[in-house]
Amino acid sequence: MSQVNQVSTAQSGVRHFRLPDVGEGLVDAEILQWHVKPGDEVAVNQVICEVETAKAAVELPCPWAGTVRELLVPEGRTVDVGTPIISVATGEDDGDTEVREKPLVGYGEKAAATQRRPRRRPGRAPAAGAPSPAAEPAPAPAAVPAEPEAPAAPAPPAPSNGTANGAGGTATPAGPVLAKPPVRKLAKDLGVDLRTVTPTGPGGIVTREDVRRDAAAPASAPLEQREATPAAPAADQPAAGQAAPVPAGAGEARPAPGVREERIPVRGVRKHTAAAMVRSAFTAPHVTEFLQVDVTKTVKAVEKLKARPEFAGVKVSPLLLVARALLSAVRRYPGINAAWDEDAQEIVVKHYVNLGIAAATERGLVVPNVKDAHAMALPDLARALQSLTETARAGAATPADMSGGTITITNVGVFGVDAGTPILNPGEAAILAFGQIRDLPWVHKGELAVRKVTTLSLSFDHRLVDGELGSRVLRHVGAVLEDPKTTALVWG
């Protein structure tokens, strides 16, 4: 059976919409939330559901206009690409047909993509026409991190029955609910129907506060005081001497009385990450080297950059200069930006850099990358990093954002950690870990002084990167961060 993007079968005026392939070789997805129900009228390109693949949360539009007849797959179930997920009465009766539609907006179709047969696995959704099983119970979630956005304006608790809030209140919207994927996930975890929530965000968007307010029960302390800080992507660093961000749910989630174990289904990003890490760890022989660096001048350079007009409105952090330092090392030592081709028994040296930034998000670890980072001026790189991390925070990174990386940075310092031994992204030769910046005693110009110090950790694939090359790359990054102005990192 050949794999297609969207396949419909018309029988007696009813078409079945099959789970599409977003064009990145993904083979299955989980139905996160349905936005329609049987009997609803749908228009062409109206969003009917949200699915989570191994790389991203994606909203699926309906390719036809008609009436929803049946939801063939319940929320929370994982199904293979090509499985019918919804039937729509379109009024057309032209026999069994297969219609190949364009790929979803934002996802390019791979040229000469390899055809594959959808895998059958136990516990998957039945084919169209079979009775839909009850939705799987969602695992007890850990507390979801707070979204890094401005808090919503104070508003009275929204009623859960969807009626107007008295005189001047806001009625439940009749159209599609506007909410970001992380907000939808929070609503699902808390058992809140987004259609009953009164939105307070700009343009009628439902915010986290709206969802929490709807789900809040009487408690001794306001919910806002119990919220944890957000899971921070790699773009942020705690200031020296400050505590690292507390992971969401730390010290807050409590098991039910008598519960000693909890089983959480492995799917979505966690499933993809687990497979990638195992493949990398047991394929590439890892070597990790460490280097402590005095980054006092880098910290000062960051403050100077913030005052420059070309960086107005752009977040500038030490990570920006770490990224530029690594790009400088790649330019000098291109062998570090390479891949091992096992089938051809060749080393593929890449003369472009798609710079990956490992980010901790609500959906797990994701590594989106800045395309052609080597060709960017420093202000452009700063904007690209900011956009990348904001997209990751919102849970909106696409499979295209996370494909094609050539070398990666992971900022473990944001969690208050000095160093680590990061595992390579499959297909890459190196990954640089950036530790926290701390005030430490350091010999400076022959005297003991308190300086800003960090630890850099470079893991590399020893099949194609020798110890000498790895050491030179790490030392080059350290030298640039020790004196960015002299190396023309900032002003060049």
Q: Which residues are catalytic?
A: 462
**DSSP letter assigned to residue 139:** P
Return the axis-axis angle of helices 467-482 and 296-306, rounded to nearest 10°: 60
Cα–Cα distance measured from residue 245 to residue 281, given in angstroms and rounded to the nearest whole number: 28
Give the three-class secondary structure for 235: coil
Side chain identity at 435, as an amino acid letter? G
CB–CB of 375/332 below 8 Å? no
| CA 66 to chain CA mean position, Å | 34
B/e letters for 301-315, b = 16+ CB within 10 Å, e = fewer, are bbeebeeeeebeebb
What are the beta bridge partners of residue 290? 457
What are the beta bridge partners of residue 237? none
Residue with the two structure tokens 């701390």: 438
Closest by CA position to 182, among listed 140, 226, 212: 212
CB–CB of 435/418 below 8 Å? yes
CB–CB of 401/419 below 8 Å? no
* Cα dihedral 322, 324, 327, 328 sign: negative
CB–CB of 416/440 below 8 Å? no
**DSSP letter assigned to residue 71:** E
**Residue 492 CB contacts under 8 Å (≥ 6 apart), including other chains:** none
- DSSP of 92-152, one letter per residue? ----S----PPPPTT-PPPTTPPP-PPPP-TTPPPPTTSPPPPPPPPP-PPPPPPPSSPPP
| CA 206 to chain CA mean position, Å | 20
Residue 150 phi/psi, 5° resolution?
-60, 135
Helices marked H in 200-340 — which ranges?
208-215, 223-226, 268-281, 296-306, 318-332
Cα–Cα distance measured from residue 427 to residue 280, given in angstroms and rounded to the nearest whole number: 8
Cα–Cα distance measured from residue 354 to residue 47, given in angstroms and rounded to the nearest whole number: 32
